[in-house]
Amino acid sequence: MSGSVLSGIASSVLAGFSDEQGRRILGGGRVGLEKEALRVTAAGAVAPSPHPAGLGSALTHPCITTDFSEALLELVTPAMTSGVDVLALLDDLHRFVYRHIGDELLWAASMPCVLHGGAQIPLAQYGSSNAARMKTVYRRGLGNRYGRVMQIIAGVHFNYSVDEALWPRLAELPGLSVVKVGDGVSAGGQQALRSERYMGMVRNLQRLGWLVPYLFGASPAVCKSFVQDAATDLESFDAKTFYYPHATSLRMGDIGYQNRQEEGTGMKACYDSLDAYIKSLTWAIETPCPQYETIGIKVNGRYEQLNDHVLQIENEYYSTVRPKQLTDWMERPTLALRRRGVRYVELRSLDVNAFHPLGIDATQMAFLRLLMLYCLLADSPRIDARERRAIDANQVLAAHRGREPGLKLQVDAAGHSLRDWGLAVMDAMQPLAELLDGAGGTAYGRSLAAQRAKVLDPELTPSARMLAEMRDRGEGFAEFARRLTEQHRETFRAGPPTPERDAWLADLTATSLDRQRAIEAADDMDFDEFLRRYFAQSEAQPVDLPTPV
């Protein structure tokens, strides 16, 4: 195989980490999760209620916030060295939330419940400050541009960074050109190496992006109330459910959340380097777009969007994977990347696993960690226009038809079957899994074996299991998801978080409310001036806005 099929990690790289310390470095690093969940009423509709006060401030709480809608909760873990610890915190966050939402529930699936139109979906609110207002206006703009219905699709974002001790060791391997000072790598050289390799990881994750919806996609069907296009070619599963017979993830397909700026605007992020990526997003944020000019910006005294540019802000550009850097107060993400390089990579293509109360499990996390490390260590040439088209096509093919027998993906002129390519990737990852498990563990090898079994037998995938269970029980999508939603609620209501975790979350809640009040008290300008200063910041000029204490 050639083209987009990766050749694996060079033997010299594996050899460079084959000692005990090297294995520890490869197995180190940090992972974190951002898990979205739609709050629904006891009847199964989108909850119209505001974000519960008992959960703190959605503007400032580090672990409990909202995404597009007041009803779309987002539970965020900090980055931790242990995936087990991450899942334990996510479990406690669910238990804490359920103590504060009355008879409402957290929807178990990625695709939303029965809908009654976009007008019934409330925008997220964050208080009276300028920063809060900006977040709501941005979401109003998203609704105006793409519709509100698609914005409440839920997913899981997997954040990963390697151990910082990896970089100096990697720099000593042959074939790498980095700036050195004396016997070590310079700070600037290490940051450049970090960003270069993380951008390589991003490119390789895009090349293999089809693998994630195939292995973990859990949205092969959707409530008919979600589909706005009467001309859809989706098939009827029953009177209330659409599906594709071999779909894995409608969320990652054509009906999921996508913004197609490239159709008519020429917008396509460039991943050749960190600099190219930043420049492509900056162009989109600064360039007016005729199709959004018709919406207007400030209409009858109310902001309908932050601006009429190709992107309002960086986060509007949808992608399956993003290079990320932590931001200071009101710092633009592209400027944070420019100033401090890439700190971690965010994989965004994961459906919520409806079969698991947390939406993700330890086996899946081990595989994702292995996959991302593999993509970082493998060679990663730039993506040309032909390969970019193949990457985009393969994502939709896997999402819509991933379990179809004999399905071919685009690699070269001949194409290759999803099965053969998937097995080739598993084979290429095997040496790294053995290296990581070399200290006596088995997690990576077991996780890799579980995913290999899915490639060999599509009926083991979550999407196939979901459709089979719906058929066996005579359920449509909404009935299936609601049944699991109620089961998961009972799991979380069975007991509160640990006393220590409960006290910690209560303190975070109180602190978040205090911080929101401090932000509101610090406002000393009108919203127009606030936006002007926000968008005026540059690499040389920090944002001219007061930082709350």
Neighbours of 94 (CB within 10 A): 23
Q: Which residues pair with 181 in a beta bridge?
A: 184
Which residue stretches of 309-461 are H helix? 333-340, 362-377, 385-401, 418-436, 443-456
Neighbours of 178 (CB within 10 A): 17
- Alpha carbon distance 206, 378 (integer Å): 13
Strands 241-243 and 184-185: what pairing?
unpaired
DSSP state at residue 304? S
How confident is the model at residue 259, as a pLDDT?
44
In the structure encoding, which two tokens stand for residue 220, read together? 């092969």
How confident is the model at residue 182, as a pLDDT?
46
- Alpha carbon distance 520, 35 (integer Å): 28
More confident residue, 119 or 329: 329
In a domain, 7, yes or no: no
Q: Three-class SS of residue 373?
A: helix
Residue 1 confidence class, pLDDT cut points 50, 70, 90? very low
Given a cut of 50, is residue 441 above it in pLDDT? yes
User: Do 450 and 363 touch, CB atoms closer than 8 A?
Assistant: yes
What CATH number did the domain enclosing 200 receive?
A: 3.30.590.20
In a domain, 547, yes or no: no
Q: Three-class SS of residue 380?
A: coil
CA 13, distance to chain mean position in Å, is 29
- Alpha carbon distance 533, 542 (integer Å): 10
Strands 180-181 and 184-185: what pairing?
antiparallel
- Alpha carbon distance 427, 452 (integer Å): 9
- Name the residue among 199, 217, 407 with its Cα closest to residue 323: 199
Query: In this prediction, what percent of the chain has a pLDDT beyond 70?
Result: 93
- Listed range (207-216, 259-268, 281-290, 302-311) with the worst mean pLDDT: 259-268
**Mean pLDDT of all residues in 375-396:** 95
Residue 256 confidence class, pLDDT cut points 50, 70, 90? low
Instruction: Compute the 3-state secondary structure of the chain and give helix, strand, coil in percent, each to the nearest 5.
Output: 50, 15, 40
DSSP state at residue 241? E
Helix (H) / strand (E) containing 194: helix 187-207
Residue 257 confidence class, pLDDT cut points 50, 70, 90? low
- Alpha carbon distance 10, 373 (integer Å): 13
Number of domains in the chain: 1
Q: Which residues pair with 408 in a beta bridge?
A: 417
Residues 6+ apart with CB under 8 A from 54: 99, 100, 509
Strands 30-40 and 64-66: what pairing?
unpaired
What's the angle, vertex CA 472, arms to CA 471 and CA 478, rounded to 5?
A: 55
| Residue 35 dihedral angles phi and psi, to the nearest 5° | -115, 120
In a domain, 112, yes or no: yes
In the structure encoding, which two tokens stand for residue 14, read together? 């594996």
Looking at every residue in the chain, the average pLDDT score rounds to 93
- H, E, C per residue of 58-113: CCCCCCEEECCECCEEEEECCCECCHHHHHHHHHHHHHHHHCCCCCCEECCCCCCC
In a domain, 365, yes or no: yes
Beta strands in 227-317 (DSSP E): 235-238, 241-243, 298-299, 302-303
Q: How many residues does the chain have?
A: 549
Residue 5 confidence class, pLDDT cut points 50, 70, 90? low
**Mean pLDDT of all residues in 484-498:** 95
pTM, rounded to two decimals: 0.95
In a domain, 91, yes or no: yes
- Name the residue among 151, 73, 91, 94 with its Cα closest to residue 119: 151
Q: Three-class SS of residue 418?
A: helix
In a domain, 33, yes or no: yes
Neighbours of 59 (CB within 10 A): 22
More confident residue, 181 or 21: 21
pLDDT digits (tens, 9 = 90+) for 16-55: 999 999 999 999 999 999 999 999 999 889 999 999 999 9
- Listed range (3-7, 26-30, 511-515) with the worst mean pLDDT: 3-7
Q: Three-class SS of residue 538?
A: coil
- Alpha carbon distance 423, 5 (integer Å): 11
Residue 266 confidence class, pLDDT cut points 50, 70, 90? low
In a domain, 4, yes or no: no
More confident residue, 62 or 179: 62
**Mean pLDDT of all residues in 516-531:** 96
pLDDT digits (tens, 9 = 90+) for 188-207: 678 899 999 999 999 999 99
How confident is the model at residue 231, as a pLDDT?
79
**Mean pLDDT of all residues in 505-510:** 97
- Alpha carbon distance 400, 250 (integer Å): 6
- Name the residue among 85, 99, 35 with its Cα closest to residue 358: 35
Q: Three-class SS of residue 392?
A: helix
**Mean pLDDT of all residues in 286-305:** 96
- Alpha carbon distance 201, 322 (integer Å): 10
Strands 221-223 and 72-76: what pairing?
unpaired
* Dihedral angle, C-alpha 416, 417, 423, 424, nearest 10 °: 0
- Alpha carbon distance 110, 191 (integer Å): 36
- Alpha carbon distance 322, 337 (integer Å): 11
pLDDT digits (tens, 9 = 90+) for 67-125: 999 999 999 999 999 999 999 999 999 999 999 999 999 999 999 988 888 888 999 99
DSSP state at residue 309? B
288-293, long-range: CB < 8 A, 24+ apart: 289/261, 289/265, 291/264, 291/265, 292/145
pLDDT digits (tens, 9 = 90+) for 196-247: 999 999 999 999 999 999 999 999 999 999 987 777 999 999 999 999 999 9
Categorise residue 399: left if φ over 0, alpha if ψ from -120 to 50, beta otherwise.
Answer: alpha
Structural domain containing residue 174: 12-536
Exposed/middle/buried for 347, CB within 10 Å: 0-12, 13-18, 19+?
buried
**Mean pLDDT of all residues in 262-282:** 84
pLDDT digits (tens, 9 = 90+) for 402-437: 999 999 999 876 678 999 999 999 999 999 999 999
Given a cut of 70, is residue 178 above it in pLDDT? no
